[in-house]
Structure 1
Amino acid sequence: MGEEQREVVHRLLRDADFDLGGDVLAQRPRLERLLTAHPLPEDVRTSTGELGGVPVVFAELVGTRALGTLLHLHGGGFALGSAGGSIGLASSLARSAGLDVVAVEYRLAPENPYPAAVEDVVAAYRALLDREGSAANVVVSGESAGGNLALELLLAVRDEGLARPAAAVLFSPMTDLTVSGESFRTKAAVDPNITAAAIRTRIADYLDGTGVDPADPGVSPVFADLTGLPPLLVQAGSSEVLLDDATRLAVRAAADDVPVVLDVVPGVPHVFQAFAAVLEEGAEALHRAGRFVRGHLAAAAVDSVEV
């Protein structure tokens, strides 16, 4: 059954009319349709608002007492995707971890190149800390480019002396904007919908006119000093060109004494957790992520009491 499910997901992605490297005005609605093809579960209640002047989408599970809040950053190569489109994945992780969700509608490139998105997620995080009164019950998550922004947020939190979240969960994070990972070559034939060329197009949008070197740690966290970051869970599929972005990040985090779990699932594509409803590996990965989050929420709560 697992192999059949994987083939269904791969075929869906191969046949989709979405092209990550295509014209943003054409691809934004296509990605939105792909992400929202299945309705949210009936017990997921959403609303819109803002944090720190940044638009956000709130989601909660009706009838459930949340242990904390998940600050989620969507993917889409910095130029596509939306907070609303990511609520399905974010709420699935939140269900497993026992959290409410805040998904950030950060500004997109090319209209708003770097550092607009980073500024937005930092502003939203600051406001969330004010609302929650503590970082001990806050968890950060991000998928793909959102994983990049999650890491840059954590680095800003450290450097600005803000209270750090209990943990972070990164799904197939894009960590190296030089596109130098060997997996861009070795996994090109098995990745059903992402190419190095598409990634380079979106990076060009993100850095357009900024003069920022793609190897700058401010945009490529795999080259950053990660010392002092909270515990990280990094999940990726073996059938994605961004695999090395995940594995090299985990090695760098470990070398910098950051508690890190690397979880690579064989035979599944980029952000495979989004297909948990039809893919056993996705549901199991979310279960592991939930267990990781709950463990670190409990540890953070103990630490905050001791302080």
Structure 2
Amino acid sequence: MSANPAKARNFHELSKGWNIIFNCIAGAFAFLCIFPFLFVVIISFTDEGALAREGYKLIPSKWSIGAYQYIFDSGDTLLRSYGVTIFVTVIGTIVSLLFIALYAYAISRKSFKYRNFFAFFAFFTMLFNGGLVPTYIVVTQFLGLKDSIWALILPLAVNAFYIMILRTFYSTSVPDAIIESGKIDGAGEFRVFLTLVLPLSLPGLATIALFSTLGYWNDWFNALLYIDNPDLVPLQSMLMRIETSMQFILQNSQNSSLSLEALRSMPQDTSRMAMVVLATGPIIFAYPFFQRYFIQGLTVGAVKE
């Protein structure tokens, strides 16, 4: 006797009870992920004296914006650093996407004669590199990028790991038939790439763009190596210099009355939290614009029906 098709169980659907349980688990996990940042925001708006007396609390007895005032008292220095970081992030992400997308597309095409050589050339750099000293010599003396905005952009423009990710995306998500149809219609390689491949590759490109954006936004090491001009210091490096200045005052507070006076008016712990908020806030607000394509890009190589 055959079962009623209308009453057949759908194994792809969860019961209402399991849906509630899994939603609660996902909600609890999401809360655990976002709670540390929310706690940092709360501490950054806590009065330094209340923090010293009561310790870290979810609801402080006294709120204050003294930490942000201390940071912004540097005048237009912080705003200029924000401008440098935004410029480097936007231009660097565009340049990085251009290089990586073209390189990955070339080595993903089976008709490209030297695809294996260039794929190995990129993969080799993931295993071995020249080291810090040769890199510094190339950037400063050979390329002449010392104290140049391009010293913050070009060293991070090409990432071999991102090339391999995007190559895999091209190979699995862009059918060869579409490329062949473009060539039959008389389109060249660049036209096929721009009009046919790129529209199908938005999830992969958005994933690489998000990774590149995070890399440029959080970069401070290149500024430490190549930038001496205060007008070209990015945000992360500027915040590190503020932190270093605070540590210098703390370590020498017993030797100078001026340092003691500055120490009394300086929000120590709350200013550190304020720096974290200033450094991570903009990138958090930018993430929702990438989220849709980022989730699709994470499924590269997944089994599809």
**Normalising to structure 2: TM-score of the pair?**
0.22
Q: Which has the higher strand share?
A: 1
**Normalising to structure 1: TM-score of the pair?**
0.22
Point out the structure with max Rg over C-alpha: 2
